[in-house]
Structure 1
Amino acid sequence: MTVQGSVLQGSLFDLDEGVAVRPLAPIVREELGRGAWIDVLPGWIAGADDLFDHLVDEVPWRAERRQMYERVVDVPRLLSFYDEADPPPHPSLAVAREALSRHYRLELGEPFRTAGLCLYRDGRDSVAWHGDTIGRGKSEDTMVAILSLGSARFLHLRPRGGGVTIRKQLGPGDLIVMGGSCQRTWEHSIPKTARPVGPRISVQFRPRGVR
C-alpha cells in the first residue's frame, strides 16, 4: 500500500530515503477566535512519499474497538502510538519533533514529547468531531501539531457548540498546528468521503500529558 510520486528535494536535515525537514519560518497563523488559532505550512516535509511508504510498512499498526452507546464498534482507522521514551519509527519524525519544539519553545513553554499515528486506509476511514481533551488539554492551553502524509484529505474545524465549519485540505508533507484554546473551544474531524482517495497517515506531535 504505497503512494507513487516524485521525491521532493529538501535543503535542511537530509535523511534516509530522501526525506528532509524544511524550515518552519514561513508558517502562517490564522486566528480562529475564543483564544484559538491554527498555523499552516504546506510542504513542510520533503520526500513525503518516501516517508509515507516507510511508515506504512514499518509501523506496528493496530485496529481498535470502542464502546459506542449500546454496542462495540470498530474504530474507522488504524492506530499506533510512540511515547516520549520510544524512538519514532523514522529518524525524520524525531527531527521534525525537535524542530517544532525549538520553533514554539517560547509560546508553548515545553517540548513536544509524543507521536501518535493514524492510518486512514481509504475514504471510509475517518475521525469524528472531537478535541484532544484527555489530560491537560481539557483545562489548559496547549498545542497539537499534525503532519499529513499520503493522499490529501480535508480537516474540518468548528467552534464547540456549533458555528461555521472551516475546511483545510492537507496534502503530503503539509503541517497544521492547533494552538491556544483550540482543543477546548473548537473541535476538529476528518470526515468520510465518497470520493476515491488513497491511504493517508496523520502524525500528531503533542506535549506530555496531552492526548
Structure 2
Amino acid sequence: MLFADAPIQLANAELRLIAPWCDAATAADWFARLLAQTPWEQPSVRLHGRDYAVPRLVAWYGDAEASYRYSGLVHRPLPWTPLLAEIRRRVQESVGQPLNGVLLNYYRDGQDSMGWHSDDEPELGRNPLVVSLNLGGTRRFDLRRKGHGAIEHSLQLESGSLLVMAGATQHYWQHQVAKTRRPVAPRLNLTFRLVHAQP
C-alpha cells in the first residue's frame, strides 16, 4: 500500500482519503496564491441545443502535449507555474506515479457545483489515476454507482486533504459536488491526472 490511511471500502473502487495531506498554513498559503495567480475562465457547455455557463471557474495546466477534452470542450494546457510545479512534485511523490495535467476548479460559494460524472475520457486510459487536492472551504463529495440514482457514499473534503481515485473506480462510479444552501467558504480543488496522447 502506498498510504498509511485506511482505504474507503466500496466495491469495484480504489479510493483513499489522506487527511490532512498538508498542514493548514500551507493549504491557506496555496489557496491565496492560486486564487490570485490563476487566469480563471467560466466556459459554456451546450446541452440539448442550449448553452449553459459551467457553475464554477476553471483553469487547465499541464505539459505541452496534455490537451484534455471533457463536456465537449477541448482544454489546451497553460504552462506550469512554479507553485503548481512544486505541488505536482509533492503529489507525485505521494502517489508514486507521473501526472502531466491539473484541472483547477474554483467554487466561489454553495451555488457553484460539479454535476454527476465519471472521469472516464479516452485520453485518461483504461484505469485512470485522478488525484484531488482540496484547499479552502469544506464541501461534500458524493458517490453513486453508474445507473443508480441514490448516493451510496459521501465524504467531507476538508482543506489540505488529498483524495486518490484509481483502478476501476471510474468504470463503476460517478461523483459530484452538489449545490448547497448552507453557508460555505470558497474552495479550490486541483485534480491531477495523466493524459495520454490520442492517435
TM-score in terms of structure 1 length: 0.78
Query: Identity percentage over the alignment?
Result: 33
| Residues 41-87 of structure 1: per-residue CA shift (max 9 Å, x gap) | 11212221111011111100011111121311110000000022454
Find the aligned partners of 2:60 and 2:6 in 1 and give their Cα distance: 28
Counterpart for residue 41 of structure 1:
18
Find the aligned partners of 1:57 and 1:141 in 2 and give their Cα distance: 34
Kindly indicate whether residue 18 of structure 2 is the aligned counterpart of residue 31 of structure 1.
no
Find the aligned partners of 2:38 and 2:157 in 1 and give their Cα distance: 21
The CA deviation at 1:148 is 0.5
Preserved contact between residue 58 and residue 89 of structure 1 (Cα < 8 Å): no
User: Given the superposition, is the C-alpha separation of residues 208 and 57 from structure 1 closer, same or farther in structure 2, using an over 3 Å criterion?
Assistant: same
The 5-angstrom pairing of residues 1-211 of structure 1 reads: 25-34=3-12, 36-46=13-23, 47-85=26-64, 87-91=79-83, 93-105=84-96, 110-137=97-124, 140-162=126-148, 164-209=151-196
Preserved contact between residue 52 and residue 149 of structure 1 (Cα < 8 Å): yes
| Greater RCO, CA 8 A, separation 6+ | 2
Aligned residues: 180
| Residues 152-199 of structure 1: per-residue CA shift (max 9 Å, x gap) | 000111111115521100111111011111112100100000001121
Which consecutive unaligned segments of at least 5 residues does structure 2 have?
65-77
**Cα-Cα RMSD:** 2.0
Amino acid in structure 1 at the alignment position of 2:138: A
| Residues 122-157 of structure 1: per-residue CA shift (max 9 Å, x gap) | 0000010001122244x6112100000111000111
SS of alignment partner, residue 33 of structure 1 = coil
Which consecutive unaligned segments of at least 5 residues does structure 1 have?
1-23
Preserved contact between residue 59 and residue 89 of structure 1 (Cα < 8 Å): no
User: Given the superposition, is the C-alpha separation of residues 96 and 54 from structure 1 closer, same or farther in structure 2, using an over 3 Å criterion?
Assistant: closer
TM-score in terms of structure 2 length: 0.82
Mean CA deviation greater in 124-133 or 139-148 = 139-148
